[in-house]
Amino acid sequence: MSRYLKIAAAQLGPVHLADDRKSVVKRLVDMLREADSRGCKLVVFTELALTTFFPRYWMEDPAQIDAYFEKEMPNDATRPLFDEAKQLGIGFYLGYAELARENGESHHYNTSILVGSDGNIVGKYRKVHLPGHDDNRPDAAYQHLEKKYFEVGNLGFPVWQMYDHIVGMCICNDRRWPETYRVMGLKGADLVMLGYNTPNSNAYHPEPVHLKMFHNLLSMQAGAYQNGTWVVAAAKAGAEDGYGLIGGSCIIAPTGEIVAQALTEEDEVVSYDCDLDLGQYIKKTIFDFDAHRRIEHYGLITEQTGVIPQPED
């Protein structure tokens, strides 16, 4: 059986420090309308979509840091996006910095939400794999301070039923880790949505520039194929106040093939009519988990974090 859902990845061009949320949300609404005009029912926006990628900057003043976070969702700035989505009857994924109150305490997360076509929040994910560092490295070309500004997500990798399909979310660096896709794959994911902000140069070790895009696509294509799932990935692209981001938003089929990809480093909608049943044959053959996985040999994956050399005698 084939079950089609037209999905868009809404790439966001640069968001500069001087850009306010209102202007960014207007750009997101414009892309939502463009996706709707193509018949899309689901739009994936990027990670930390409402601001510049602020973890590149060292900040110490808690008020200055919290200014990048949303205390509630929707809020005054984002309500136009929710209203437009409801009006059009289109769902969306949105990444943002979340300032949550839990057990009377404030917590900071790098978060994405899934909003249904009725404008209501269906689910929430909080980024698990936080890259970078938490110490000040003023001599670096740029910093990557996610470990300073965010706590590790505490929601695991949930999936939800949406449009009769099983869908999941992750955020940026999560896409490089096979465990991310496998946990959702084990929950039957037909679709994994993600947003990313990936610098186009490496601040900490020299690496040929072309590897930035190669590793981006390699990780997502492998994750899609090895779990028989669609991956829809929306990037931030272009130079934010001079700091370049790779872009390359794309839609990847469960075969691992890229079926649509952004051409620019600007706001750009890429879309594809996805047969969300396409992964079924992969799930029932080469990656039939029930028939072929050998969990008795995988214990180290959850027992051990780092490498401990264990050569046989």
> Contact residues for ligand CDT (CB under 6 A)?
47, 131-132, 144, 172-173, 176, 196-198
Q: Check if the beta carbon of residue 271 is closer than 8 Å to that of residue 38.
A: yes
Q: Is 274 a catalytic residue?
A: no
Q: Is 127 among the residues known to form the active site?
A: yes
Q: Shortest distance, CB of residue 109 to ligand CDT, whole angstroms? A: 13
Q: How far is the CB of 5 from ligand CDT (least distance, A)?
A: 27
Based on the residue annotation, tell me whether 303 is a catalytic residue of this protein: no
CB of 121 to ligand CDT, least distance (A): 22
CA-based angle 109:111:115, to the nearest 5? 150
Rounded to the nearest angstrom, the gap between the alpha carbon of residue 99 and the centroid of all alpha carbons in its chain is: 18
| Cβ proximity of 78 and 70 under 8 Å | yes
Minimum separation from the CB atom of position 180 to ligand CDT (A): 11
Nearest residue to 304 via CA among 159, 128, 131, 179: 179
* Main-chain phi, psi angles of 96, to 5 degrees: -160, 165
Catalytic residue among 41, 47, 146, 240: 47
Q: Which is nearer to ligand CDT, 54 or 287 (CB)?
A: 54
**What pairing do the DSSP bridges indicate for beta strands 42-44 and 91-102?**
parallel
Question: How would DSSP label each residue in 128-172?
Answer: ----S-SS--TTSSS---HHHH-PPPSS-S-EEEETTEEEEEEEG
Backbone angles phi, psi at 303, to 5 degrees: -90, -25
Q: How many residues does the chain have?
A: 313
The distance of closest approach from Cβ of residue 104 to ligand CDT in the complex, given in angstroms and rounded to an integer, is 29
Q: Which is nearer to ligand CDT, 36 or 47 (CB)?
A: 47
Four-point Cα dihedral 185, 220, 8, 269, nearest 10: 170
Nearer to ligand CDT, 165 or 175 (CB): 175
Cβ distance to ligand CDT smaller for residue 124 or 176: 176
Catalytic one of 40, 170, 172, 274: 172
Backbone angles phi, psi at 210, to 5 degrees: -65, -20
Catalogue the active-site residues: 47, 127, 172
